[in-house]
Structure 1
Amino acid sequence: MENPSLKYITNPDFGKPPDEQNEILQRNGEPHTTSFNYMLNQGLSEAIKNLNPVEFLLNERKIKLTITNFLFQKPEVPPEMVLVKNKTIYPTSCRQSANTYKGKFLVEIDWYIDNEQQQSFTKDLGEIPVMVKSERCHLSKMSPKQLVECGEHEQEWGGYFIIKGNEKLVRMLLMTRRNYPITIKRSGWKQRGALFSDCGVSIRCVRSDQTATNNVLHFVNDGTAKLMFSYQKVLYYTPLCLILKALCNYSDQYIYQRLIQGCEDDTYYIDCVQNMLRAVHRENLHTTEDCRLYLGKMFRVKFYECPEWSTDKEVAEFILRKCILIHLDNNEDKFNMLVFMAQKLFSFAQDKCKVEGADAVMMQELLLGGHLYLQILKEKMYSWLNGLKLSILKLAKAATFSISQTEMLRAAKNSGGIESALGNFLATGNLNSISGLGLMQDKGLVIMAENINRMRYMSHFRAVHRGAFFQEMRTTEARQLLPDAWGFICPVHTPDGAPCGLLNHLTLNCVITDVPDQDKVNNIPLVLTELGMKPLKNADMIDLKSSYVVQLDGRIIGYVHINDAARIVQKLRLFKIKGKVIPQTLEIALVPLKRTVAQYPGIFLFTGPARMMRPLKNLYTNQIELVGTFEQVYLDICVTPEEAYDKVTTHMELSKTAFLSNLAQLIPMPDCNQSPRNMYQCQMGKQTMGTPCHTWDLQSETKLYRLQTPGTPLFRPVHHDNILLDDFAMGTNAIVAVISYTGYDMEDAMIINKASEERGLAHGMIYKSEFVELDHPDSFFERDPNTKNTNLSNLLDSDGLPFIGRKMVENTPLYCFFDADRSLYITKTFKGKEECYIHSVKLCANFGRQKAKKIACFTYRVPRNPSVGDKFASRAGQKGICSQKWPAEDLPFTETGLVPDIVFNPHGFPSRMTIAMMIEIMAGKSAALHGLVHDATPFRFTEEDTAIDYFGRLLEKGGYNYYGTETMYSGIDGREMTAQIFFGIVHYQRLRHMVSDKWQVRSTGPTNILTRQPLQGRKRGGGVRFGEMERDALISHGASFLLQDRLFHCSDESTAFICTSCGTLLGPITAVMRLADRPQHTETKETCRLCETDEHINKIKIPYIFKFFVTQLASCNINVRVGCQEV
């Protein structure tokens, strides 16, 4: 859509489900669902193929266990629930009943005795969570009408899991680009060993089943290189030439020639290569066989996955296959890549090429939810196989045990499943992994998809996080917005505060690649060869000084002459755009050789998944091309046709706003605001009360906010219409007068017209849900038939549950049930402090396999009219609280009789420089006059053709002042005001921060047992926070007695004994006397243990926390003496 309009909401078919879903909205869930579908269709099969078999000895016989196949079923009701008519479980059922949306997962087990295959069997590993709208979800491929019939929204995009009724989303993390060696400088590497430097070439290797591991080629200051590989979170280091000789049976001369090829002029590097090769021979390792035997001998103790009968050579082959460059399948490719990494490392160490670093977006990709789920599932399947092994060994301890199919099935039955492991991961976001899965964090991987409003919900699915590890770093490198992020990461939509720069959001047009067609990927080397690439088989005959290396997904496939590189890349782009022979998601990065120190040259091609790409117009073909983060750096891209240079500019942006995210594109004219205000609006838009859903009667969320009287904005970007935001309206069009009228509008406060508030301005409500579960399976809900309370039948229905729409106050009956344990009826009362109404009552089913318990869900509706202290904001980041509800008759009015809904203080404009809000006041007024909607998309106006002039002329045509001002009359005495008042319409947002949820006051209440001070927390009836600034305020007012009352008398005042002679609080104790020496009717006295006298004991009043502190210091052998003097 080019311009916003009211056609959508004025259409007679408004509200009816469309024939197809909105393409832009479907992009939100697409990366998540496609990654999960890859796991189902291809990834799990690859993972099972790469899963190591579990092998062990049992009674001197070799047993081998392996998983060969799997079956992942759609969610269905367990067979035990025979009375259910429809076995299908839909997501809405799980949301309403606080259940997990999961399907049965079965695997086929093959097992061998002395390499002889036995009869395979199938094992049910439990029910594991299913992603909504994936191919294992019942909603997959449903039309909008069918989705509505199943209790979903017509634009449902999925991509999340439902865990115990809550929507959980696996967070997209920024990871290092896969299968590309990156030059990095890291000071921490110096601590890895003697003479280690801070220079290295790191490569994150990712296999087709998404298993990832890191290899780093370190430069050592003695001129050698050591390769780091990891296994089960432990790092190991080996000489480079040892690995090269172990990989392939090549002569030392061939290895030497390959390492120095193209670097024949670098004498330092040649000497280093010679020394590294000699070092291997000094260890008496001359052949490939010797190197492999040495590797196996050194590492076999650590690699317990290898069976105990494995030879040293087999252990070495396991290391080379599972730990070193795992993305490559054969040793020749691994050898070639290590040679390339060595040349790049020594070039970097000699400052011949630049550091690339892992913080640039061009060196990053995303970790998707489906891929992480696959890695965890693979690891849990292997853990289960080990559990099966332990179960067999446990059974084998019996004297009558004999390995057979029956015993194997018995052991499998006792070995449990993986259901709880995956459920716990998605419920908590904590990763319990032996290997660490190549991640830098094991917490915070899953977030709750909060549905406060539509903007908040959408932003979760496009959010990318740098990682929890970087939040603790003191440096700002990871937070910086670098130029290569243009078009991929939104520069506006990031929170202010601790996560600033770490939690970012993808731009509107940024797409995440999926796994391409493998046949098209296989065509790439053939196409390049036809275009002029020299294949790898003639590598030793090629002059590398005048050639670029060509890499495809981390595998060297050939070389291209420097003079032919630009032509070959240009023609390859033509094939890419057509997409018939090679994939359209191919990323082609030509890093040119420069005379100055620059990035290491080469042609790097990427086809893997999880990369960020965006569409651009290729000016050579006038067609749309997907461009990646790496290749964009070496392209010349213009924004408008006027900026293009002939034969220089290669691509052009599709729109001026392509670099903004979903939420940033909803800000009206952000180019006219100060940049922090746009950031604030992105945050406040996600805190706005609005219309989070349409299925109010099917919700069981803990808390939902609803704006009862929303309106469509009259001044809005076209993106508002493109994402159908009117379906989930979240603001109110208010008449605003910019005037300092009362003094109650200072410091961002605002005054609301009391009459407008009574007629529904920004009226909202909160929906809260509470689950009640009866402990005994035989208990049931029913109203007590023998009750003496005659009013109970007016409050509760015959089923013991409250009537819909009933008003609830504290201690009124909520529900009644029969307790089978005690054989009596029990009535429970409502414990809420706030008046509310029963919105819905649901009896929920438990899909578990235990005997079903009775569960009820009560949803309360809490009305929330705007009150003093509630927070509001315009879409220009002008936030403030309501300071007063002013009577309409006392507010100023215009010549036409209009009274403002909101009075806004003009002092809010100069320092904030929110010119867009001024424009909105004029545009909103002209839109209401002419009955249309104005486009607030940024970059439409220029300095010559200004927005103020455009809207000013529209106001003049409507009979109003060009500058948007009006003559107003005082509401107090009716006199005309001297100044002209800026007056118009602004779309205001009511934020979810309300006084009713935050106010706190107490005189007496619960205290901490240890410190005797008031508890913390509003829900627990705790005390009000009293900090240093409050203390300073009371001192400055001279109210010291009030300060003493707050912090002492009303807190932890206590009486203690002190010895004024030695000043100790711990010395005075009650003297213990023998019964024979104790005189009758004599009071006991406190005696100081240090002075051994009671003459100087006195009572004082001190805070109890001080006495507690003194006691703690005494436990550390520190004595505290208090100076005393008589006053």
Structure 2
Amino acid sequence: MIGVGTSKLVLSNWKFKFSSMLGYDTESWGYSYRGEIQHNGLVCRYGSYFTIGSLVGVHLDMWTGTLQYYLNRRPLGIAFKSLKNYDLYPMVSSTAAQSSMRITCCLSQEPTLQAECLKTLQQLGAPHVFSFNYMLNKGLDDAVADIKPVEFEIPNGDRICLRVEDVSINCPLVPLGVIGVRDQRIFPTECRQRAGTYAGKLNAKISWSVNGDARNYLEKDMGDIPIMIKSDRCHLSGLSPKELVAHNEHEQEWGGYFIIKGHERLIRMLLMTRRNYPIAIKRSGWKGRGALFSDVGIQIRCVKIDQTSLSNTLHFVTDGTAKLMFVHSKLLYYIPVLMVLKSLCNHTDQHIFKKLTIGFEHDSYYIDCIQNMMRDLHREGLHTHEQCKQYLGKMFRVKFYECPQWRTDAEIADYIFKHCILIHLDNLEDKFNMLAFMTQKLFTFAQDQCKTEGADAVMMQELLLGGHLYLQVIKERLYVWLNSLRFNILKLAKTSIGFSVNQKEMTTAAKYSGRLEIVLEKFLATGNLHSPSGLGLMQDSGLTIVAENINRMRYMSHFRAVHRGSFFQEMRTTEARQLLPDAWGFICPVHTPDGTPCGLLNHLTMNCIVTDIPSEDKLQNILITMSDLGMIPITNTESVTSFKNYYVTQLDGKVVGYVEHKLAQKLVNNLRALKIKNQIPNTLEIVLVPVKKTPGQYPGLFLFTGPARMMRPLYNLRYRDIEFVGTFEQVYLDICVAQNEIYKDVTTHMEISKGSFLSNLALLIPMPDCNQSPRNMYQCQMGKQTMGTPCHSWDIQAETKLYRLQTPNTPLFRPVHYDNIELDDFPMGTNAIVAVISYTGYDMEDAMIINKSSYERGFCHGSIYKAEFIELDDANSYFCRDPSRPDLIDSLEPDGFPYVGKLIKVDDPLYCFYSADESKYVVKKFKGKEDCFINNVRKCATFHFKMKPLACITYRVPRNPTVGDKFASRAGQKGICSQKWPMEDLPFTETGLVPDIVFNPHGFPSRMTIAMMIEIMAGKSAALHGLVHDASPFKFDEENTAIDYFGRLLEAGGYNYYGTETMYSGIDGREMNAQIFFGIVYYQRLRHMVSDKWQVRSTGPTDILTRQPVGGRKRGGGVRFGEMERDSLISHGTSFLLQDRLLHCSDRTTAQMCTSCGTLLGPITLVTRIADKPNYSETKEVCRLCQNGDNIVEIQIPYIFKYFVTQLASVNINIKINCKQT
């Protein structure tokens, strides 16, 4: 056998065995001469036999974590995946009496620069992919084991128990029975092109029993559920860049998203409260939870091993007691904490008192409160552990309807402890210890002996990853499916006499219980979550977004975005939006949008990583190591008389022991050394909160190893190596930025780079340290709105809308990070020659002039690609050109589709098909508003003949820059193209250069974008010397300025030191008196174009309620008229124009008004019948308020005013109009 293995493989065990060694256990992977691969004792057919003379190659790619074999230099495909976290060695084993082999070639290539850049880009999708892989490889098994069985009784008295035994998810494959399929695998590009969903089959094994007697398993197909791209169930997983390109993907493809009906959907990363850590919080709303409740509490968000989350809060009551809150089915319940403690474990009151007062022996108030709570419990007649437990179960039995009626009260209590209280701990003793710690912290907090921690600080937060949320949705839907199966069985039982459950009845009931594919696809397509429990979230919408591919920056930003939650957008307080100091290095300070989501939608910094689940063996080393270093285990505390000088030690929300104050720092230093050496998890977060003279955070030693935490690399000065540091951990470290800031025996860590606190997009801004901060924020937003090169596979794209810049350039002045992420493969701008001059009346402030000749040469020319899917109404219909119409030959091909490359206009034939319903050919015409070209036409394949024919037509709309289009430099200087100026009228230099863009100098002083001025000089010097300058931040300082550096380069090239030049007027040829600032700037063309926004309307639809024109260009809505337009017309004195806009062209209506009482609501029309003429009637206007009809007049008013008056009248407010009749 040939393969690889770890150093833990025990070779001596095979001394007297005659078997296949490699792959027999979990520590090795092997390929045998029989053409089989083996791992963990499982054997699978892989390739053909190899024998004497065979040349076998082993290729271990640790970048992708894949192992594949070659036989006689022919690749056999990937044999094993997910090998990234192992230290592997090549191995060969043989059971033959005599073996001989020779190594012909051994290669271990150093990674190329491109491979390092690709590795950087892979980190964008890493948190999403590894969370989904956790769900596939381990999470599903954990979740299935935790799904509560459904137990019920049918009318004949049989007790039925339903349980999910096993769940498996398969790779996306073509359904069985489809004819003519060469490869059963479905790749993502196929789903994009035919607007399909990239999904794999979910199979469930259901176990059921009758009166405890287990029956045969029920196999159920739960449907095809969406699969994350590049996860272990995706066919792109483990492919090399070259192989990705062969499957119509980009070589940098990092995955992490789903394809739902052809669109790329991404599960948002949400900021959640840190798991398994009790947080001291003050909330005024807690006072309304019950009598005597205070605003003080200890909240803990508990997360199980399968990522199920549930919050518990320990409330301080002003009578000196404490109550524990838990949630069940979105309802809150409260229990006295002493009752919970006494119900959890069979301990004496003395033991409970000792546990609660350990380390607080001198706190008389706290001791009195504990004694009073114990007395309250005895007054209720609850003296023993069994009595408390039965009382608890009896009180809550009616609320836990899912528990069958034959369960005892004690079993109901156990159910509550397992599923509702501190669910991250499985052992009741651990729950007891944790509640005791929370009680101590609560009373310390209530006495102001420790400070508020709050849930809005980044140190108290972690992320909710897509794979973890997806797992919770599947877990809950499986439980809902079990209840649906129970409902169907009971329904069948009611319809027949003497009904008993058998395999046939169970299969019938399962058939009508539904499947999961529709629910999961709808969840990802809409982002809306319909959950009975809420899954511990504060929102049920906006959980998924479209991964918009407007340009590369926009696409990248989605994968590093973290959202605080839509719940906080509606709050008037700003605490959740504030950028606190503990966010340094984890949350980018400038990459957040302005407006409503400001401070709520943030982005991770470049170096910030999201932790994965560590290996089990390294986790076990932590407790052993800590005991060796001096920690007293929680199970061995009898030898200590007083714990006043001890820190409580917790590991992932579990109290594990105590550490003496004087030993704590030494223990922490030793743990850091082991962490750096990777002997314990290198993502371990070590937080030592010290005891201080003044009240601070509650002290203790807290260790965290769980997933979804934010960490970042720092240079550890003590051990001279890289260490990953967490958000909570960072607060208690002393970190310097540069070496001159190091203080001996004080500074512990140093930043790896000065720009490590910025996100990927912020690091693309040239010299952001020379800009005003808002300008950097604007560039982070405008960079994501730029027309660029979003993809390379234009001919197979089926996106609704794509923007393309036809003539992009590479910037001459760019940061290093630009090359690190290979942004030159997806360029997004143009190097433009800019003259800073006020030359015409069209370049005031933000406006800019474009050289007309540059425009004619293709400057910033762009295109928009639009895709339209056409689905016929009937499966028997088909696309075809009408043979009886020769006039269609010039427009349509024989298959009924337009010619590729043809210019198509409004009402031109677009496609033709034969309608089976109407038994005739139907020609559909183009209804677009712009002329466009047919870029490509695709007829999409179907899996079976009953599916409706589907086709996709992609249009290309050329978009030249025009007046009103938006442009921006990378310094956040946005401007509108105000005019295209003839080149012969523009100023020119002594060398004959004419600027592409004329920029007004008044744009600099108020914006303070010094970086753009530096870029003008740097771009000019780069073009002179044939260089590319580094624009990374903090490269220059006050002594060595950028202006001096680039000025000297300009002098060396024969130009002015200050970047100015003598220019001549293009109109009369005279030399200009002023020296003109002249150079090169990388300009971006934004997607905001006049062609998409222009709007004209005379008549059209109006709103039913307000009778004003509806909004929206696509709906034929009215022209927008805002406050600034109103003020403009008022200031110009054009009152009739104002009346025309806001009355005649809006919602003019005729209304009756009583001039005597000044009301619009009083006048009514009375209809009276004429006495002598029974078929005739007369009308009369009367005011109901003054009962007089002589003073009623008709006036013209906006209808919205009449609506406003009626709304005020509904709240008993009368509007009186002062009027004078003329």
What is the aligned partner in structure 2 of residue 249 from structure 1? 346
What is the aligned partner in structure 2 of residue 644 from structure 1? 742
What is the aligned partner in structure 1 of residue 85 from structure 2? none
Q: Does 1:1005 align with 2:1100?
A: yes
Alpha-carbon distance between aligned partners in 2 of 1:776 and 1:969, rounded to the nearest angstrom:
70
Q: Does 1:548 align with 2:644?
A: no
- Paired AA for residue 107 in structure 1: A
What is the aligned partner in structure 2 of residue 539 from structure 1? 637
What is the aligned partner in structure 2 of residue 993 from structure 1? 1088
Alpha-carbon distance between aligned partners in 1 of 2:747 and 2:833, rounded to the nearest angstrom:
48
Question: Mapping of 1:764-783 within 5 angstroms?
Answer: 764-783=862-881
Question: Mapping of 1:88-237 within 5 angstroms?
Answer: 88-237=185-334
Query: Are the equivalent residues in 1 in contact too, given 2:832–2:1082 (CA < 8 A)?
Result: yes
Q: Does 1:576 align with 2:675?
A: yes
Deviation at 1:1032, TM superposition (A): 2.8
Indicate the larger mover: 968-977 or 630-639: 630-639
Q: Which whole-Å deviations, capped at 9, do the CAs of 1:486-533 have from their partners, x for residues lacking one?
A: 111111111112111111111111110001111211121111111111
Alpha-carbon distance between aligned partners in 2 of 1:1086 and 1:163, rounded to the nearest angstrom:
64
3-state SS of the aligned residue for 2:1133? coil
Indicate the larger mover: 1052-1061 or 102-111: 1052-1061
3-state SS of the aligned residue for 1:26? helix
Query: Are the equivalent residues in 1 in contact too, given 2:117–2:822 (CA < 8 A)?
Result: no
Judging changes above 3 Å, is the alpha-carbon distance between structure 1 residues 752 and 203 closer, same or farther for their aligned structure 2 residues?
same
Alpha-carbon distance between aligned partners in 2 of 1:1057 and 1:262, rounded to the nearest angstrom:
81
3-state SS of the aligned residue for 2:917? coil
Alpha-carbon distance between aligned partners in 2 of 1:604 and 1:644, rounded to the nearest angstrom:
27
Judging changes above 3 Å, is the alpha-carbon distance between structure 1 residues 240 and 1096 closer, same or farther for their aligned structure 2 residues?
closer
3-state SS of the aligned residue for 2:429? helix
Q: Which whole-Å deviations, capped at 9, do the CAs of 1:875-928 have from their partners, x for residues lacking one?
A: 111111111110000000000000000011111111111111111000000000
What is the aligned partner in structure 2 of residue 826 from structure 1? 922
Alpha-carbon distance between aligned partners in 2 of 1:1052 and 1:348, rounded to the nearest angstrom:
60
Q: Does 1:878 align with 2:973?
A: yes
- Paired AA for residue 195 in structure 1: L
Query: Are the equivalent residues in 2 in contact too, given 1:211–1:437 (CA < 8 A)?
Result: yes
Query: Are the equivalent residues in 2 in contact too, given 1:1056–1:1065 (CA < 8 A)?
Result: no
Alpha-carbon distance between aligned partners in 1 of 2:1200 and 2:357, rounded to the nearest angstrom:
72
What is the aligned partner in structure 1 of residue 1008 from structure 2? 913
- What is the aligned counterpart of 1:965 among 1051, 1054, 1060? 1060
What is the aligned partner in structure 2 of residue 454 from structure 1? 552
Alpha-carbon distance between aligned partners in 2 of 1:484 and 1:1112, rounded to the nearest angstrom:
49
Indicate the larger mover: 998-1007 or 921-930: 998-1007
Deviation at 1:1046, TM superposition (A): 2.6
- Paired AA for residue 883 in structure 1: S
What is the aligned partner in structure 2 of residue 1041 from structure 1? 1136
3-state SS of the aligned residue for 2:366? helix
Larger relative contact order (CA 8 Å, sep ≥ 6): 1
3-state SS of the aligned residue for 1:409? helix
Deviation at 1:1059, TM superposition (A): 7.0
Q: Which whole-Å deviations, capped at 9, do the CAs of 1:433-476 have from their partners, x for residues lacking one?
A: 11111111111111111111000100010011111111122222
- What is the aligned counterpart of 1:506 among 595, 599, 604? 604
Query: Are the equivalent residues in 1 in contact too, given 2:1168–2:1179 (CA < 8 A)?
Result: no
What is the aligned partner in structure 1 of residue 109 from structure 2? none
- Paired AA for residue 463 in structure 1: A
Deviation at 1:1075, TM superposition (A): 10
What is the aligned partner in structure 1 of residue 665 from structure 2? 566
Q: Which whole-Å deviations, capped at 9, do the CAs of 1:53-112 have from their partners, x for residues lacking one?
A: 000001211100001111201111222533433322111111111111111101001100
What is the aligned partner in structure 2 of residue 62 from structure 1? 159
- Paired AA for residue 664 in structure 2: A
Q: Does 1:656 align with 2:741?
A: no
Q: Does 1:808 align with 2:904?
A: yes
Alpha-carbon distance between aligned partners in 2 of 1:186 and 1:706, rounded to the nearest angstrom:
50
Q: Which whole-Å deviations, capped at 9, do the CAs of 1:159-180 have from their partners, x for residues lacking one?
A: 0111111111111111111111
Judging changes above 3 Å, is the alpha-carbon distance between structure 1 residues 473 and 402 closer, same or farther for their aligned structure 2 residues?
same
Deviation at 1:1007, TM superposition (A): 3.5
Query: Are the equivalent residues in 1 in contact too, given 2:879–2:895 (CA < 8 A)?
Result: yes
Deviation at 1:1035, TM superposition (A): 2.5
Query: Are the equivalent residues in 1 in contact too, given 2:1163–2:1192 (CA < 8 A)?
Result: no
3-state SS of the aligned residue for 2:383? coil
3-state SS of the aligned residue for 1:772? strand
What is the aligned partner in structure 2 of residue 515 from structure 1? 613
What is the aligned partner in structure 2 of residue 32 from structure 1? 128
Alpha-carbon distance between aligned partners in 1 of 2:489 and 2:350, rounded to the nearest angstrom:
52
- What is the aligned counterpart of 2:1071 among 976, 979, 994? 976
What is the aligned partner in structure 2 of residue 750 from structure 1? 848
Q: Does 1:445 align with 2:543?
A: yes
Judging changes above 3 Å, is the alpha-carbon distance between structure 1 residues 391 and 917 closer, same or farther for their aligned structure 2 residues?
same
Query: Are the equivalent residues in 1 in contact too, given 2:879–2:912 (CA < 8 A)?
Result: yes
Deviation at 1:1073, TM superposition (A): 4.7
Judging changes above 3 Å, is the alpha-carbon distance between structure 1 residues 254 and 1113 closer, same or farther for their aligned structure 2 residues?
closer
Judging changes above 3 Å, is the alpha-carbon distance between structure 1 residues 1106 and 980 closer, same or farther for their aligned structure 2 residues?
closer
Where in structure 2 are there 5+ consecutive unaligned residues?
1-111
Q: Which whole-Å deviations, capped at 9, do the CAs of 1:1027-1067 have from their partners, x for residues lacking one?
A: 34323322322222222223333334455666778876775
What is the aligned partner in structure 1 of residue 67 from structure 2? none
- What is the aligned counterpart of 1:389 among 486, 501, 515? 486
Percent sequence identity over matched residues?
68
Q: Which whole-Å deviations, capped at 9, do the CAs of 1:796-853 have from their partners, x for residues lacking one?
A: 1111111111112111111111111111111111111111111111112355x89210
Alpha-carbon distance between aligned partners in 2 of 1:1010 and 1:227, rounded to the nearest angstrom:
49
- Paired AA for residue 509 in structure 1: N
Alpha-carbon distance between aligned partners in 2 of 1:554 and 1:1029, rounded to the nearest angstrom:
56
For normalisation by structure 2, the TM-score amounts to 0.88
Deviation at 1:269, TM superposition (A): 0.7
3-state SS of the aligned residue for 2:644? helix
- What is the aligned counterpart of 1:702 among 779, 796, 800? 800
- Paired AA for residue 1044 in structure 1: Q
Q: Which whole-Å deviations, capped at 9, do the CAs of 1:955-1013 have from their partners, x for residues lacking one?
A: 11111011111000011110111111110000001111111111112223334455543
What is the aligned partner in structure 2 of residue 287 from structure 1? 384
Q: Which whole-Å deviations, capped at 9, do the CAs of 1:256-291 have from their partners, x for residues lacking one?
A: 111111111111111111111111111111111001
Question: Mapping of 1:655-694 within 5 angstroms?
Answer: 655-694=753-792
Query: Are the equivalent residues in 2 in contact too, given 1:1071–1:1087 (CA < 8 A)?
Result: no
What is the aligned partner in structure 1 of residue 149 from structure 2? 53
Alpha-carbon distance between aligned partners in 2 of 1:161 and 1:31, rounded to the nearest angstrom:
14
Where in structure 1 are there 5+ consecutive unaligned residues?
1-15
Deviation at 1:591, TM superposition (A): 1.1
Query: Are the equivalent residues in 2 in contact too, given 1:176–1:365 (CA < 8 A)?
Result: yes
- Paired AA for residue 658 in structure 2: Y
What is the aligned partner in structure 2 of residue 13 from structure 1? none
Indicate the larger mover: 1097-1106 or 525-534: 1097-1106
Indicate the larger mover: 378-387 or 488-497: 488-497
Question: Mapping of 1:319-330 within 5 angstroms?
Answer: 319-330=416-427
What is the aligned partner in structure 2 of residue 607 from structure 1? 705
Alpha-carbon distance between aligned partners in 2 of 1:421 and 1:473, rounded to the nearest angstrom:
30
Query: Are the equivalent residues in 2 in contact too, given 1:215–1:230 (CA < 8 A)?
Result: yes
Q: Which whole-Å deviations, capped at 9, do the CAs of 1:18-56 have from their partners, x for residues lacking one?
A: 678711110110000000000011111000001100000
Alpha-carbon distance between aligned partners in 2 of 1:989 and 1:854, rounded to the nearest angstrom:
41
Alpha-carbon distance between aligned partners in 1 of 2:398 and 2:1108, rounded to the nearest angstrom:
56
Alpha-carbon distance between aligned partners in 2 of 1:1122 and 1:358, rounded to the nearest angstrom:
52
Q: Does 1:1032 align with 2:1127?
A: yes
How many pairs does the alignment contain? 1106
Q: Does 1:835 align with 2:931?
A: yes
Alpha-carbon distance between aligned partners in 1 of 2:771 and 2:560, rounded to the nearest angstrom:
24
